Amino acid sequence: MTTVQEVLQDATTRMDGALASLKERFSGLRTGKASPSLVDSLQVPYYGVPTRLRDMANISTPEPRQITIAPFDPSVLTEIEKTILAANLGVTPRNDGRMIRITLPELTEERRKEIVKVAKTQAEECRVAIRNVRRDANDSLKALQKDSKISEDECKKGLDDVQKLTDAKIGKVDSDFKAKEAEVMAV
């Protein structure tokens, strides 16, 4: 990277990636209602190859608290069932020979608090990732100044811009966490 703008662009892209990862991880956390994202990224052994469940089955939610999984190849029903049980999602799949049905029980207050703790840990990991991107961007800017590719004023302004970007992205993490916490705790 040779300009402040390139460093900022790279930092923005990497921070947005961390936020996207957090959103994906949050979607896998169970709330009171059924969501295909609870199971769609599970890796099921399919003829010896780990394959994402969403790539080998239709996943739908016909009722607010039920998920149905209809595999394209019915011979993998037992493998899907084993994978769901091994994922420790707190649900029991029922295999009827053609599809798997998962009925989600009501969440207890204790279980809701555990899910919020997991979400909080994931949010903190995202904050750390964003701070690591900030550190890398600051190091790049300082290296550019040291190599006389940018002036001291440009470096200072770049460092300020990186900090503003970091603050904005961490604010987004905080708001996403608050929203997820409210969603999980809603009865």
Summarised one tens digit per residue, pLDDT across range 109-129 is 888 888 889 899 999 999 999
Q: For the beta carbon of residue 168, count every other beta carbon within 10 angstroms.
A: 12
Task: Please give the residue range of the domain that contains residue 74.
Answer: 36-103
Q: What is the average pLDDT score of the chain?
A: 89
Task: Answer yes or no: do 8 and 43 share one domain.
Answer: no
For residue 141, the model assigns a pLDDT of 92
For residue 32, the model assigns a pLDDT of 67
Kindly tell me the burial class for residue 119, based on how many C-beta atoms sit within 10 Å of its own C-beta (0-12, 13-18, 19 or more): buried
Among the candidates 71, 103, 135, a domain finishes at 103
How far apart are the C-alpha atoms of 31 and 17, rounded to whole Å?
24
Higher pLDDT, 89 or 131: 131
Query: Which of the four pLDDT bands, split at 50, 70 and 90, describes residue 172?
Result: very high
- The answer to whether residue 89 scores a pLDDT higher than 90 is no
pTM, whole model, 2 decimals? 0.71
Task: Answer yes or no: do 122 and 154 share one domain.
Answer: yes
Among the candidates 71, 88, 103, a domain finishes at 103
Query: Which of the four pLDDT bands, split at 50, 70 and 90, describes residue 27?
Result: confident
Higher pLDDT, 31 or 160: 160
